[in-house]
Amino acid sequence: MKVGRIIDGKAFAAGLREQVATGVQSFVAQAGRKPGLAVVLVGEDAASSVYVRNKGKATLETGMESMEFRRSATISQDELLELIDELNGDDDVDGILVQLPLPDHMDDKAVIAAIDPAKDVDGFHVVNAGKLAVGEDALVPCTPLGCLMLLKDELGDLDGLEAVIVGRSNIVGKPMAQLLLKENCTVTLAHSRTRDLASVVHRADIVVAAVGRPEMVKGDWIKPDAVVIDVGINRVAGKEGGKPTLVGDVAMSEALSHVRAITPVPGGVGPMTIAVLLRNTLVAACKRAGLSPPEGL
C-alpha cells in the first residue's frame, strides 16, 4: 500500500531560523543595532505563557533582542493601549506581538488596531490584511505564510493547482486564500457549513485544513497524490483515562494512503509559526531601517 510522505516542519523551520540568524548578523552590521521583538502577555493563561517563553527563547537564539511585557489580567484596556503606544514610539522595537486571547473585558480588534502596521509582525492589522488582499507588499500572518513555504518546498511552482482551504478565519483561512491566489492557484475557501464538503475537498491538489475540529477531514475525501497541510491542533481525551493527545483536523491514519505528502500534528505547521514570526521581525526591522530584507525570506 502506498504511504504518503510526512512533511518535517521542524526541520524546515530550523533551516528558516538559520536563514534569519544570518540575516540578523547582516542587519546588525549595517544598522548598528539588533532587531527587537516586543511580546505582550496579559494574564496567566498557561498555554499563552508557554508560547511567549518559546518565542522569547527563539528570538534570542537568532541574535535579536527579546522584550517581554507581562501584565495582570485586571489591567484596563486603556492601560494596555498606552503600553502599545509606547512600543509604537520605541525605535528599538521593530515588532510588536500581543499574545491572544486577551481577557474578556478587552476588545481584541481595538488592541490589534492600535499596533503600528509597520511593527505588526503577526500580520493581523487591517492595513496589512488589506494590502495582502490587493496584492501589495505586507506583513503576512505567520501560520499561513509558513504553510505556503512548506507547500512550495514540496511542490515547487503552484501555478494552476486547485487548492481547497477548510476554515475561513482571519488568522489562517482568509490570508491563506490570498497567498495561494497570488501563486496563481484556483482557490476554494470552504468551511464547516459547505455543502458536500467531501466532494469539494476531493477535487483539490492542495488541501489546507484549518477548521478546528478533530479529524474532520477524512482520508477518502482526499484526491490521490494531493498535498495536505493540517493546521489544526486539537486536544482530545485519552482512552480509558489516559493522557490527552493532540490531533489535527485531518484523520492522519486514513489520509496517509491517499496523499502525496502531509504535515503531522504535532511537528508540522506549529514549528513554522514561530520561525515565520522571527522572519517577519527581521523583515520589519529591515524596512524600518531602509534596508532590503535578505533574499529568499
Beta bridge partners of 164: 188, 207
Summarize pLDDT for 176-196 with one digit per residue, the tens.
Answer: 999 999 999 999 999 989 999
Q: Are residues 83 and 201 in the same domain?
A: no
Residue 229 in any domain: the answer is yes
Mean pLDDT of 255-271: 96
Is a pLDDT exceeding 70 seen at residue 45? yes
What's the rounded Cα separation, in Å, for the pair 94 and 36? Answer: 5
Is a pLDDT exceeding 90 seen at residue 18? yes
Q: Are residues 51 and 155 in the same domain?
A: no
Q: Are residues 92 and 202 in the same domain?
A: no
User: What pLDDT, on the 0 to 100 scale, is given for residue 57?
Assistant: 94
Q: Are residues 149 and 266 in the same domain?
A: yes
106 contact partners, CB below 8 Å, separation of at least 6: 42, 77, 80
Residue 277 in any domain: the answer is no
Residue with cell 498606552: 82
Banded model confidence at residue 3, pLDDT cuts 50, 70, 90? confident
Torsion angle of the four alpha carbons 129, 131, 132, 133, in this order, in degrees rounded to the nearest 10 = 90
Banded model confidence at residue 277, pLDDT cuts 50, 70, 90? very high
Banded model confidence at residue 141, pLDDT cuts 50, 70, 90? very high
Q: Which of 53, 82, 117 corresponds to the end of one domain?
A: 117
Q: Are residues 59 and 167 in the same domain?
A: no
Residue 154 in any domain: the answer is yes
Mean pLDDT of 81-100: 97
Q: Residue 208 belongs to what H/E stretch? A: strand 206-209
Residue 10 in any domain: the answer is no
47-61, 69-83, 122-136, 151-165: which range is least confident on average? Answer: 47-61
The cell for 98 is 500581543
What proportion of the chain, given as a percentage, has pLDDT over 90?
A: 89
Q: Are residues 172 and 213 in the same domain?
A: yes
Structural domain for 152, as ranges: 142-271
The cell for 8 is 518535517
Mean pLDDT of 255-274: 96
Residues 215, 217, 218, CA angle at the centre, nearest 5°? 90
The cell for 263 is 504535515
Mean pLDDT of 266-291: 97
Q: Are residues 88 and 172 in the same domain?
A: no
Which CATH number covers residue 148? 3.40.50.720
Residue 285 in any domain: the answer is no
The cell for 171 is 488568522
Residue 91 in any domain: the answer is yes
Q: Are residues 66 and 156 in the same domain?
A: no
Is a pLDDT exceeding 90 seen at residue 155? yes
Q: Are residues 254 and 161 in the same domain?
A: yes
68-72, 105-109, 166-170, 237-241: which range is least confident on average? Answer: 237-241
User: What pLDDT, on the 0 to 100 scale, is given for residue 1?
Assistant: 61
Is a pLDDT exceeding 70 seen at residue 241? no
122 contact partners, CB below 8 Å, separation of at least 6: 97, 98, 112, 139, 141, 142, 277, 280
Is a pLDDT exceeding 80 seen at residue 2? no
User: What pLDDT, on the 0 to 100 scale, is given for residue 4?
Assistant: 94
Which CATH number covers residue 97? 3.40.50.10860
Q: Are residues 92 and 168 in the same domain?
A: no
Active site residues: 55, 99, 122
The residue among 192 and 14 whose pLDDT is bigger is 14
Tell me which DSSP letter residue 100 carries.
Answer: S
Q: Are residues 151 and 255 in the same domain?
A: yes
The residue among 45 and 116 whose pLDDT is bigger is 116
What proportion of the chain, given as a percentage, has pLDDT over 70?
A: 99
Q: Are residues 264 and 152 in the same domain?
A: yes
What's the rounded Cα separation, in Å, for the pair 212 and 215? Answer: 9
Residue 16 in any domain: the answer is no
Banded model confidence at residue 153, pLDDT cuts 50, 70, 90? very high
What's the rounded Cα separation, in Å, for the pair 176 and 140? Answer: 9
Q: Residue 162 belongs to what H/E stretch? A: strand 162-166
Beta bridge partners of 208: 165, 229
User: What pLDDT, on the 0 to 100 scale, is given for residue 236?
Assistant: 87
Residue 199 in any domain: the answer is yes
Q: Are 98 and 48 in contact (CB under 8 A)?
A: no
What's the rounded Cα separation, in Å, for the pair 207 and 231? Answer: 10
Mean pLDDT of 254-262: 96
The cell for 3 is 504511504
As for how many domains the chain has, the answer is: 2
